[in-house]
Every structure is written in structure tokens, then in C-alpha cells.
Amino acid sequence: MVNLRIVVEFLQLPVLRYRAEYVDTILDRAGASGVMYLGDMDPKGILIPAMVDRARGEAGLPRVMPAIPLYSRLLTHGVVRPLSGDVSETAREATLEWLGEELGLQVLALWRQGGWIPQESLGAEALATILGKADR
């Protein structure tokens, strides 16, 4: 769990967001072999890791995988906030590609309804419980 936290915090650093190769540095430091990412469920929060994932895939590096169980939990239990601004076609396409059609369509519906969900609304206890179940 510590490795996941370190990588999530690393990906949120503004200067490094679009630099896919820096993920390897943090993976080495954390002793991890891959990344499972959870971020805000807004266009920017999905687009950034999707772009990093795509760049890493094109470079033949380990992918940045969405934490599907956590995103699903956010959709069912998260606190919806008002979404400001338009959702770009790039963000819509990246959402479907990175999250997959089923979850991606649910996220796009949330945005069409004018909402987004911050990752913090999941809570540490739910995060630990869901990750514990995913490890089994």
C-alpha cells in the first residue's frame, strides 16, 4: 500500500505530470513493478494518467492502470461536485480508452450531468478495504 501511495503522489506533481519516463524512477524507488492509479473523476484527473499510460505503452514500458474497483466505488459512493467548463473530445476519448467502455460511459454520463467526484471522497478506510480485497 505504501508503494501505491508514493506513486499516486508522484503522478500528482505538476512539473512531472506529462513525463511518462519519470514513472520508472518512482517505481524503482518504491520497489514496485507497476502502477494502479486513482485520481479525481474529472476530465483532467482522467486525461493526465491516460496520456501517461499511452506514452508508456508506446515506449514499451509498464502501463499506468486505472484502479477500476476504486473508480467504481467513487461512482457509487463519492460526493459529486459541480463540474465547471466543457469536456474536450480528447478527454472523452481518453476516458473510454483508459477506463474501458463500461466504466468510461458511466464517467461520461456523470460529466454530461454536470458533475465530477474528488478522489478524497473515497476515504482511507474504504480504500484500504477495497485494495485488501483486490490483493486476494
Question: Which residues lie below 8 Å from residue 112, measured CB to CB, with a gap of 6+?
Answer: none
8 A C-beta contact, residue 94 and residue 47: yes
Whole-number pLDDT of residue 59: 82
Lookup result for grid cell 476515504: 123
Task: Name the pTM for this structure.
Answer: 0.78
First-to-last CA distance in the chain? 14
DSSP 3-state of 36: strand
Whole-number pLDDT of residue 133: 64
Question: Which residues lie below 8 Å from residue 61, measured CB to CB, with a gap of 6+?
Answer: 20, 21, 23, 24
8 A C-beta contact, residue 78 and residue 122: yes
Q: What is the mean pLDDT of each run of 10 residues along the chain (136 residues)?
A: 43 49 75 84 94 86 89 94 96 98 98 96 76 60
